[in-house]
Amino acid sequence: MNRSEINQIIIDAKEFLKENQFFLPPWAHWSVADWQANKEKANKVIDNMLGWDITDFGSGDFHNCGLFLFTIRNGKYQVDKKPYAEKIMVVEEHQETPMHHHWTKMEDIINRGGGNLVIELYKATPDNQPDPDEPVVAEVNGIWTEVAPGGNVVLTPGESICLEQGVFHRFYGEPEKGKVLVGEVSTVNDDTSDNCFHEPVGRFPDIIEDEPPLHLLVSDYKKFLG
């Protein structure tokens, strides 16, 4: 992805968050120079990969296959005491996050506002394939709900689903309903080792530096901060 594209995605996301009265911590707005001046004080933010996170999953087409995320809080297994994480995401109409499950993380996905979020579900087989026969039983708005293999759950604003470990899920914004503000509350998040995608994808983008970064991504910390 070009840095200019990433910068524009951040600008657009900031505006959408503002429209929905969702506010980020002060360090979300730091420049590269701010980070370099405060990196020792902000070591938890850096080490636990909090902050801006933009991916096109290696598709080269962010608006059809990609995701904007901001990790607000996160722990780190066997390092600190925090056992939970929280993210805010923006999902566009038709914009797909590919089918995947987690070995360790359990998560609630919450529609915080905007359009509708469509989530396709399968149970994972022991060899990490979507099970075509076994239905998924999940808590939707706290109510046990059975979903046929490959069936969809549509979350309208205020609705949520709890996804346990080993549940394949693919999601996108429902067409003609607008962008979706999506929250995630989960156990500790580790995007380096806990994502099992059905098809191979690139989780973090290779970036062409055609202009300076507006804000650092979580995948930028090592490059710019050492």
Q: What is the pLDDT of residues 28-58, one digit of tens each?
A: 999 999 999 999 999 999 999 999 999 999 9
Outline where DSSP puts E strands in the chain.
51-55, 67-73, 84-91, 97-102, 107-114, 117-123, 136-140, 143-147, 152-155, 160-163, 167-173, 180-187, 195-197
pLDDT band at residue 1, thresholds of 50, 70 and 90? very high
Would you say residue 226 has pLDDT above 90?
no
Average pLDDT over residues 62-87: 96
User: What is d(CA 145, CA 140) in angstroms, rounded to the nearest whole number?
Assistant: 6
Would you list the domain boundaries of the chain?
Answer: 3-225
Considering only CA atoms, which of 160, 159, 165, 135 is closest in space to residue 148? 135
Instruction: State residue 163's pLDDT score.
Output: 98
Burial 67-78 (b: 16+ CB within 10 A, else e): bbbbbbbbbbee
User: What is d(CA 215, CA 9) in angstroms, rounded to the nearest whole number?
Assistant: 11
Average pLDDT over residues 92-100: 98
User: What is d(CA 17, CA 14) in angstroms, rounded to the nearest whole number?
Assistant: 5
Biggest CA–CA distance in the chain, Å, is 55
Q: CATH code for 3-225?
A: 2.60.120.10
pLDDT band at residue 140, thresholds of 50, 70 and 90? very high
Contact criterion met (CB below 8 Å) for 104 and 193: no
Token duo for residue 149: 């293999």
Contact criterion met (CB below 8 Å) for 39 and 45: no
User: What is d(CA 3, CA 9) in angstroms, rounded to the nearest whole number?
Assistant: 10
As to burial, measured by CB atoms within 10 angstroms (0-12 exposed, 13-18 middle, 19+ buried), residue 143 is exposed
